[in-house]
Each structure stands twice: as structure tokens, then as C-alpha cells.
Amino acid sequence: MTDDEVLMRAIQAGDSHAYNSAVRQHIKPLSHYAFRMLGNSKDTEDIVQETLLRLWTHAQSWKPDKAGVSTWLHRIAHNLCIDYLRKDKSSVSSELSEDLESSDKPAQAPEREERLEALREALNALPERQRSAIILSHYQGFSNREIAEVMGITVDALESILARARRGLRAQLSE
Amino acid sequence: MNDAPQERELVTGTMRGQDHMNMTAQRFEQIVTAYGSEAARWPAQEREAALHFLKESLAAQSLVEGYRELDALLDAMPVPALAQMEQRVMRSLREKTRDSFLDKVLDWLIPRQQRGMAWAWRPALVACLPLVCGIYMANFYSFGIDSVENSWQEELYLISMNDYAEITE
């Protein structure tokens, strides 16, 4: 039995200590994913909270042979983010540049900062699924199969989405 | 950042049937366009063949170079420190998932280790609790029946009340 299975069986049995341990383990990658998708901490907080609450309330629906816990949680977060963005597109805002704590903000040359700002805008301009695919592939460290599982598509479809996203980003940056 | 010449050369390579360890130029282009310039992000089962192809093909090297800046910029884009938000979420989740008093009582009666059909038999057991309590209390207090010794007198009294007319007929 894998670590995921042991943990999830305990959560399914109502073990709140196991649940708290799983929350500690997954909260950071989930909050980074949601923040990159939504661009602000308030909405990120709502999505992360709902995702992790479902880890408790929907633990029975996790199937060990289908996906790892992290993949399963990212799938929930992905669906919540997509729903949220489709309902209220105007709320997508960017705190990335303003709210970085000084220790986290690497010193950038002005030209580099401009390029980063351009990339930020280009990412926000991407369709939600393309943005999600880029984030899952570049930042979250998932394999192509895991990303396809998160997004509920085939690997071929994923590669097509990723290629369109990267081409889109390059085109935006070269303007 | 126009990669059209590289693409042309790569397609030509495919048409000529060039491949290295089953990697075609077309497939290599698909991989780089989808997963970027860093080999670590390429599909694990094709990585070795793609790296071999990259070593051999100038067009492939040029294509990878074209995607390097984008990857470097993506790498450089940080997220803010979300520690306070994460603490708030964890606190809130702890409150929301805390066991109620009833849950604690149930856990004390029957630990939740083997849930199985618990959704059905646990409520049934709870429903039976008043019955069990009632039986216990009735047995304990006897409700006016003081002792077993008096019962023969009561029996005699009940026999005397019978109508024996039917028996004698």
C-alpha cells in the first residue's frame, strides 16, 4: 500500500490527524497553483479552502488506481478555478508585482522587469485551460499523463493545448 | 522570434526520414513546443531519444534555443509569500472538520476504523440506545414489584378471579 493510500484510508475513516497532515502536505502547491491561475490572494484563499475541504468531505471518491492524491486535489482545484474564472472573468487581477514580500522578490534589472510584466500580461490573456496547462507543466512538476488526468483530457490534446499556449506566449512577448 | 526557418528544416528532416532512436524531427518539434526547452520537462519515455536527436541536429538546437528565453522568464516569475493565507485556511479547516459532541460519543462507542456500512448501522445503533436504556432502567427500578416472594400470593389471587363455569360444563 502506498503512502497516499495509507493517508487516504485514515482520512476516509474520519481521522482528523491524518487530514491535518494531508492539508499541511498539499496546501503550498495548491495555493501556488490557484494564485498563478487567479492572480490574487483573496480568491486563492477561497479556492484552496474549498479544495481542501473536499479532501475531507469527498475522501471516499478518491480512487487509488486512478490518480495520486496530489493529482486528484489539483483536478478539484483546476475545476474550481475554471468555474470561477468563467463566472467572473473581471475578477482576475494581478497582485504578483505589488504584493511580493521583499525576501521573495528577486532583484531584477528594469529591462528584465519589463519582460516579466509582459509575460504576466500574456499569461493572464491566455484562455483558462491553456494557462492551467502551462502552470501544471512548468511549475507544479506533473508528468504529461498527470496533467492530462488533472484536466480530464488525453495526452495528445494536452500537447496541443500546451503548444498553443507556448506559441501564444512567445507571440505576445515578441510584440 | 520567428521560428519558421527552423520549422521548415525540421519538417524537411522528417520528410527525409531522419530519426535518431525513433525520434523524428516532427515529434521533437512537438515535444519542444509543448514542454519547452528543458529536457527535464519532456516526456520521460521519449527524453533519451529526444536528447540524442538534439545532439545531432542543428535545427533542433536552434528550436530549443528559441524557447529558452520563455522558460527563463517563466522560471523568474515568483509567487508572493502565502504563509499567512495558508495559516488562515488551515485554522478554518480545523474548525470546519472538528468532530461534534455526538461524533465523539459515537467514536467512543464504536471507533471509526472500519467504516464499511457504518453509515447505516451507526444511526441504527444510536436509535436503539433509548431502548437499551429503558430495559436497563426497568430492570433496575422494577416499577413497584418489590420482590419475587410475593408473586405466589398474586398468582392465587388471579386464580380466584377465574370463571370455572366453562370447565365444569
Q: Give the nearest partner residue to B78 out of A16, A48, A105, using CB atoms.
A: A105
A-proximal residues of B, 45-84, CB under 8 Å: 66-67, 69-71, 73-74, 76-82
- Tell me the three-class secondary structure of chain B, residue by residue: CCCHHHHHHHHHHHHCCCEECCEEHHHHHHHHHHHCCCHHHCCHHHHHHHHHHHHHCHHHHHHHHHHHHHHHHHHHCCCCCCHHHHHHHHHHHHHHCCCCHHHHHHHHHCCCCCCCCHHHHHHHHHHHHHHHHHHHHHHHHHHHCCCHHHHHHHHHHHHHCCCCHHHHC
Residue A24 has pLDDT above 80, yes or no: yes
Could you read off the pLDDT of B79-88 as tens digits, one per residue?
A: 888 888 889 9
Q: What are the sequence ranges of the domains in chain A?
A: 1-93, 107-175
Average pLDDT of span A116-124: 91
pLDDT, averaged across chain A: 87
Q: What is the pLDDT of residue A131?
A: 96
Q: What is the CATH number of domain A107-175?
A: 1.10.10.10
Residue B49: CB atoms within 10 Å? 19
Residue B34 has pLDDT above 60, yes or no: yes
Q: Give the nearest partner residue to B90 out of A23, A100, A144, using CB atoms.
A: A23
Closest approach of A103 to chain B, Cα-based (Å): 9
Could you read off the pLDDT of A37-62 as tens digits, one per residue?
A: 998 889 999 999 999 999 999 999 99
- Global pTM? 0.72
* CATH of region A1-93, choose from 3.40.50.300, 1.10.1740.10, 3.90.550.10, 1.10.8.60: 1.10.1740.10
Q: Give the nearest partner residue to B33 out of A96, A134, A166, using CB atoms.
A: A166
For chain A, percent of residues with pLDDT exceeding 90: 63
For residue B41, list chain A residues with Cβ-Cβ distance below 8 A: 137-138
Residue to substitute from A44, A138, A162, interface B, most B β-carbons within 10 A: A138
